[in-house]
A and B are shown apart, each in its own frame.
Chain A
Amino acid sequence: MIKHLVPPPQWRFPVMIVLAIFIGLALFIFKVSNASSYLSDNPETCVNCHIMAPQYATWNHSSHREWTNCNDCHVPHNNVVNKYYFKAKDGLRHATVFTMRAEPEVIFIKKEGAEVVHKNCIRCHHQQITDPKLVATVDGHSSHTQDRKCWECHREVPHGRVNSLSSTPNAHVPLPTSPVPDWLKRYTDKNKP
């Protein structure tokens, strides 16, 4: 099979050049898009894309900051395969929207994502909503976990109510720094006219 793909001798040189460009470009994209970081749970990954700055900033000023990162709430945690499948699916959609410049001014969560977040609320706050003491005193507390989303009542958690791309203009967010290495910067600075 591999033999079939090897080009005839007179083609080898141009194919090699084109393939090398192809691989080089792919590596470049891998580097500038911080592609490897998408495998991690680091919240800084999500602000690789600057339109996520308000989400990062509001989370960083919330009580959830000390205990959760973006993935704790926004990807499923029932198993590892599902986690990365969901992450890849969601991530590719985000990347496409971002590249096409189709992002809306106010980002709303999709139905599927909302389901995931809701399940994650319950995953961590299981004790609070199934505590028999509370079931007895708070009427219908456990049934409410079925017929509505947590944030229909807990509306400020954790991003607050104001939600738009321009809601946090001067917030300090760890946006990706320049991909140009220091030595190159020093060199170009030195050779400035």
Chain B
Amino acid sequence: MKLFDKRPWLAWLMFFATIIVVFLLGLLASSIVERRAEATFVNVPRTDISEFEPRNEVWGENYPREFQSYYQTADTSFASKYNGGAVIDMLELDPRLVVLWAGYGFSKDYKQGRGHYYAVTDVRNTLRTGSPADDKSGPMPSTCWTCKGPDVPRLMNEHGVAEFYKGKWARLGSEVVNPIGCADCHDPKTMNLRITRPALIEAFERQGKDITQSSHQEMRSLVCAQCHVEYYFNKKTEEGANYLTLPWDKGMNVEAMEAYYDEMEFSDWTHQLSKAPMLKAQHPGYEVYSTGIHADRGVSCADCHMPYKSEGGQKFTDHKIQSPLNNVANSCQVCHRQETANLIANVYDRQDKIIENRDKLEELVVRAHVEAKKAWDIGASQAQMEDILMGIRHAQWRWDYAAASHGASFHSPVEIGRVIGTGIDIAQETRIKLARLLAELGHNQEVPYPDIETKAKAQQFVGLDMERLNQEKKVFKEDVVPEWIKEAQAREDS
């Protein structure tokens, strides 16, 4: 090495220069590590939230903006043309529903749901849950609590999932007291979205999909899909349990779920007038949404129902989950540059058109029930009725699928139009069969449409003793509910 032989200082220079570069590189590396560590402190919660903390107020200490906007779901002042956060007595509005659900709880009481804040109060108040006097009485199973609040994941964790689904509704009255909130959707450590209801995870598994592989954007819909879906209570999964199950094994559209139910010969109840084995659509909001254009374009539930909001200099997701029609500026207009009035008119236009045919289908199914009753009355046999009863079941299932999936006429107008269309076809085919059968049995004239002008008349028509039901509910609210609240208070204080 002649270079260094002549200039030995050069070797030294290179040696020390390298050392200095390595040292500086080390400084850079440590600064990168330090600044990366900083990122984990972007969100430092003030208090520790335990794994299944059900009290929304405790989460609210760390996330005041999100909590306070969640709290605004208590607001019931907004009613759109068909939905919104206000209480609407649907039976009053449309007494035909009483006849369609004759013999089932929904004919007693059905109101348009209020915000998440009222989840627990409203389920206590509705006549559908009856007026149980003790843990073992009442018409409803404990499964009815599944979607009512963050106490549910806590209980499922403590006692096991199947155990939760066992017994009567009143059994958990003092346990489920916090309304739908933080712990239902969020992981307390990382605040990531999480699925807390086993039914959705199980439905994914049976379809061979792993829900944990979902992207953040998909999760912004899936946390809603934990509850806003079609479901039924399977009594065969585990002895003594009403196991909450999603009927998605054959697919998620109206025909696939119907085929699923038909194959297992499932029915929610037997209709009081027509004796048809009926299906009650719950609220297949997620299924309908996924057939719509917004889902196709990658828009999640949260994008419209929980849009970004700024308050002062801070931006956050608005946890006042509500109708986007009450917040067009932040929901619709992020993408659609039209005037608010225009956008709302577009929605109403679709809703009006859908409801026009839905009303028609509704009337046809009421007629079919009444005509089927007439057929029974004048001596129709089980064999003669079989086909007709299936027709009534399928027609009403389609009507209910369109009616119960709130917002369906917005979420997927074409699909819902199709569903109602096939429903009208089935209903009319069934009524042709009924007309033939009635003629065969010697009744060859129109069966009169019942006088169901008002809710009271309709309830009288199906033979409900409303006075007694209301009286019992009053006693229940005065005697039983305060006991539940006291018991829950004692548990949470300890």
Looking at the complex, which one of A7, A22, A176 makes contact with B39 (CB distance below 8 Å)? A176
Whole-angstrom CA separation of A35 from B5 in the bound complex: 40
Could you tell me the distance in whole angstroms from the C-beta of B404 to the nearest C-beta in chain A? 30
Contact B313 A170 (CB under 8 A): no
Alpha-carbon distance A66/B14, docked complex (angstroms): 53
Once the chains bind, are A58 and B308 in contact (CB under 8 Å)? yes
In the bound complex, what is the Cα–Cα distance between A50 and B36 (angstroms)? 8
A63 cross-chain contacts in B, Cβ below 8 A:
334-335
B313 contact from A7, A57, A164, A174, Cβ within 8 A: A164
Given known contacts A14-B15, A22-B25, A25-B25, A170 and B33 CB-to-CB distance under 8 angstroms: no
**Chain B residue at minimum C-beta to C-beta distance from A8:** B1
B39 touches A62 (CB 8 A): no
Question: Nearest-CB distance from A179 to chain B (Å)?
Answer: 8
| B251 interface hit (Cβ, 8 Å) | no
**B307 on the interface (CB 8 Å rule)?**
yes
Q: Which residues of chain B are near A161, meaning CB under 8 Å?
A: 310
A54-B315 in contact (CB<8A): yes
**A161 vs B330: C-alpha distance in the bound complex, in angstroms?**
13
Over the window 139-169 of chain A, the binary record of Cβ atoms lying under 8 Å from chain B Cβ atoms (1 yes, 0 no) is 0000000000000000000001110101111
Binds A, one of B16-24, B279-287, B380-388: B16-24
User: In the docked arrangement, what's the CA distance between A174 and B215, Å?
Assistant: 11
A57 touching B315, Cβ below 8 Å: yes
Chain B residues within 8 Å of A134, by CB:
none
CB of B446 within 8 Å of the partner chain:
no
If A11-B15, A28-B29, A29-B25 touch, whether A170 touches B308 (CB-CB below 8 Å) is no
Shortest distance in angstroms between B70's beta carbon and chain A's nearest beta carbon? 13
Q: Which residues of A contact B1 (CB under 8 A)?
A: 4, 6-8
The chain A residue sitting closest to B18, CB to CB, is A18
Most B Cβ at <10 Å: residue of A58, A166, A171 = A171
Within the complex, what minimum Cβ distance (angstroms) separates B285 from chain A? 22
Q: Which residues of B contact A65 (CB under 8 A)?
A: 298
Please measure, in the bound complex, the distance between the C-alpha atom of A25 and the C-alpha atom of B308, giving whole angstroms.
Answer: 42
CB under 8 Å from chain B, chain A span 1-30: 4, 6-8, 11, 14-15, 18-19, 21-22, 25-26, 28-29
Contact-residue size bin, chain A (C-beta under 8 Å from the other chain): 35 or more
A63 to B307, CA, bound (A): 12
**Are the C-beta atoms of A18 and B22 separated by less than 8 Å?**
yes
Which residues in B have their C-beta under 8 angstroms from that of A25? 22, 25-26, 29
Query: Is A32 interfacial (CB 8 A cutoff)?
Result: yes
B63 within 8 A of A: yes
Distance to closest chain A CB from B8 (angstroms): 9
- In the complex, the answer to whether B25 meets A53 with C-beta atoms within 8 Å is no
| A66→B215 CA distance, assembly (Å) | 14
What residues of chain B lie closer than 8 Å to A160, measured between beta carbons? 308, 310, 315
A49 proximal to B (CB < 8 A): yes
* Interface membership of A71, Cβ < 8 A: no
B-facing residues in A27-67 (Cβ within 8 Å): 28-29, 32-33, 49-50, 53-54, 57-58, 61-63, 65-66
Q: How far is the CA of A28 from the CA of B36 in the complex (A)?
A: 14
Q: Quick check: B36 and A171 within 8 Å, CB to CB? A: no
- Binary flags per residue of B422-458, CB closer than 8 Å to A gives 1, else 0: 0000000000000000000000000000000000000
Report if A172-B316 is in contact (Cβ < 8 Å); known contacts: A7-B11, A11-B11, A15-B15.
no
Confirm or deny: A99 has a beta carbon within 8 angstroms of a beta carbon on chain B: yes
User: Do B3 and A4 have beta carbons less than 8 Å apart?
Assistant: yes
Cα-based distance from A53 to B21 in the complex (angstroms): 32
B313 and A166: CB pair below 8 A?
A: yes
- Measured in the bound complex, the distance between the Cα atoms of B43 and A184 in whole Å is 25
Does A88 sit at the interface, judged by CB under 8 A?
no
Residues of B within 8 A of A7 (CB): 1, 4, 11, 14
State the CA gap A73–B31 with chains docked (Å). Answer: 29
A69 shortest CB reach to chain B, Å: 14
Please name the residue on chain B nearest to A179 by beta carbon. B36
Q: Is the CB of A18 within 8 A of B315?
A: no
Any A CB within 8 A of the CB of B42 = yes
**In contact, A61 and B334 (Cβ under 8 angstroms):** yes
Q: Does B192 contact A (CB under 8 A)?
A: yes
Query: A98 contacts the other chain (Cβ, under 8 Å)?
Result: yes
B298 touches A172 (CB 8 A): no
State the CA gap A6–B335 with chains docked (Å).
63
The answer, among A57, A99, A162, A170, for a CB contact under 8 Å with B66, is A170
Contacts known (A8-B11, A175-B42); A166 close to B314, Cβ less than 8 A: yes
In the complex, which residues of chain A have a beta carbon less than 8 angstroms from the beta carbon of B193? 172
Query: From residue B244, how far is it (CB to closest CB) to chain A in Å?
Result: 28
Q: B22 touches which one: A22, A58, A98, A99 (CB < 8 A)?
A: A22
A140 to chain B, nearest CB (A): 19
Collect the chain B residues with CB atoms within 8 Å of residue A54's CB.
315
Interface string of B39-76 (1 = CB under 8 A from A): 11011000000000000000000010110000000000
Q: A170-B66, A176-B39 are in contact. List 15 more A-B contacts (CB 8 A).
A: A7-B4, A7-B11, A8-B4, A11-B11, A14-B15, A18-B15, A19-B18, A29-B29, A62-B334, A63-B334, A170-B65, A170-B191, A171-B317, A172-B191, A175-B40
Binding site for B on A (CB under 8 A): 4, 6-8, 11, 14-15, 18-19, 21-22, 25-26, 28-29, 32-33, 49-50, 53-54, 57-58, 61-63, 65-66, 98-99, 160-162, 164, 166-172, 174-176, 178-179
The 9 A-B residue pairs with the shortest CB-CB distance, nearest first, are: A50-B39, A63-B335, A61-B308, A8-B1, A25-B25, A175-B39, A18-B18, A66-B298, A162-B310
